[in-house]
Amino acid sequence: MPPGAEQNVVVLGSTGSIGRSALSVIEHDAGRRLRAFGLAAHSSVDLLVEQARTFQPRYITLTCPDARARINGALSGTRVELLDSLDGIIRMVQAPETDKVLSAIVGAAGLEGTWAAIEAGKTIALANKETLVVAGPLIMDLARERGVAMLPVDSEHSAIFQALKAGQPNEVRRVILTSSGGPFRGKTARELANVTPEQALKHPTWSMGPKISIDSATLMNKALEVIEARWLFDLRPEQVEVVVHPESVIHSMVEFVDGSVVAQLSPPDMRLPIQLALNYPDRVPGPCPLLDLTKRFSLNFEPPDRETFPCLDLGYEVMRRGGTAGAALNAANEAAVSRFLSSEIGFLDIPRACRAALDHHNFDPRPTLDALWRVDAAARQEVRRWKP
């Protein structure tokens, strides 16, 4: 792609937190190089129609059939075409005009569209970390085979991606992912026994969708990110570390063999990593606030509390095991978060239910994609029936 060339972008999950930030980046670009070519959501009809009217994409799709029926004549007078469900997602990501696909559907539901886009050779801006947690080796093999660039949107992985440019792959000693510690940093397990979904949803530094907000409170988000980092950057498990950094200004670091640590800093705003991935390899001015280094502020670091937040160790274990372990952990976590959000299980039950599903699943070290979906379905079912 020549520098500055126009990019047709498909945004999968356009009505979500990442999707809306991406459209704000595209709006700020004002048609210079980024065009919203396709938008996909699940059931947020009104917002998707509003986005379609503003951005005039070629295609939109809704994966919920009832929601699709509600669109009716809302697009009359536009040239926007409404496509059908997952087939629609596949059609828009594989369209010859599509250059980049922002994968920002939440959960394992984001895998199929991402897979289809890689198969068609499209550049991927990857927010949906669950895709790599479930099927990291298969996805990365496919990307290599099709010569596809996997550009991270997750802020930690975007930071690592940028810091890695300071050396050669064989000069990396380790990557250090930063974690804000979430809303319950410093709390004991006893204090967390009765927290409500509302308390867990209040993140101190980031504003995000509900699933990842709960993942941030349990530290499962960091567990998923450790696995994501391993596959995305082809690291050995012992090369991936986590440090708690409550200010969320350093988004992650790379330590090289000579002891140099290279970090990326910016105010916590997801539009920056999204913008970098959409414009890569160029850097352009964008809508994000700048870091004011003339103000007095401090950056703090502490080790994660692995006893109170056992999800992190689940992530390390799964990263080391590979195979079907990621699919089991991810599906169990999605089901457990959903039960916690509807107040069926407690906050501390989330890691317990995940532990049980991980222990009971039939581990396969070299699964096919079909085998991963079977593990996903079984783990979800187990957690739906799991009793505290």
Return residues touching Mg ion (CB under 5 A).
154-156
Identify which of residues 178 and 279 has a Cβ nearer to Mg ion in the complex.
Answer: 178
Q: How far is the CB of 3 from ligand NDP (least distance, A)?
A: 27
Distance (Å, rounded) from C-alpha 288 to C-alpha 306?
33
- What tokens were used for 342? 């509807």
Residues of this chain, 257-276, that bind ligand NDP according to CB under 6 A: 270
Nearer to ligand NDP, 63 or 178 (CB): 63
Degrees, nearest 5: CA angle 109-317-140: 50
CA dist 296 and 294 (Å) reads 7
Nearer to ligand NDP, 6 or 46 (CB): 46
Is residue 41 near ligand NDP by the rule CB under 6 A?
A: yes
Query: Which of 80, 106 has the CB closer to ligand NDP?
Result: 106
Cα torsion 228, 122, 31, 45: sign = negative
Q: How many CB atoms lie within 10 A of CB 197?
A: 16
SS3 7: strand
Is 50 or 191 the residue whose CB approaches ligand NDP more closely? Answer: 50
Q: Counting contacts by CB under 6 A, is residue 315 touching ligand NDP?
A: no
Taking CB within 5 to 8 Å according to partner kind, which of Mg ion, ligand NDP, none is near residue 16? Answer: ligand NDP
Q: Residue 13: phi, psi to the nearest 5?
A: 90, 40
Alpha helical stretches, state H, the chain: 17-29, 45-55, 65-69, 85-94, 111-119, 130-146, 155-163, 189-192, 197-201, 210-218, 220-233, 271-279, 311-321, 325-341, 349-360, 369-385
Among 109, 142, 164, 189, binds ligand NDP (CB under 6 A): 109
Nearer to Mg ion, 216 or 338 (CB): 216
- Contact of residue 136 among ligand NDP, Mg ion, none (CB under 5-8 Å per partner type): none
Distance CA 71, CA 62 (A): 9
Which is nearer to ligand NDP, 89 or 375 (by Cβ)?
89
Choose, by CB under 6 A, the member of 10, 23, 102, 105 that binds ligand NDP.
Answer: 105
Coil, strand or helix: which one is 289?
Answer: coil
Assess 16 for contact with ligand NDP (CB under 6 A).
yes
129 touches ligand NDP by CB under 6 A: yes
Burial class of residue 258 in the structure, from the number of CB atoms within 10 Å of its CB (0-12 exposed, 13-18 middle, 19+ buried): exposed
**If you compute the radius of gyration of the chain from its CA atoms, what whole number of angstroms results?**
20
Query: Which range binds ligand NDP by CB under 6 A, 42-50, 68-76, 324-332, 360-368?
Result: 42-50
Residue 63 touches which of ligand NDP, Mg ion, none (Cβ within 5-8 Å per kind): ligand NDP
Q: Per-residue x/- mask for ligand NDP, residues 132 to 161, rule CB under 6 A?
A: ----------------------x-------
Residue nearest to ligand NDP (CB): 16
Residues that bind ligand NDP (CB under 6 A): 13-19, 41-44, 63, 104-106, 109-110, 127-130, 154, 206, 208-212, 270
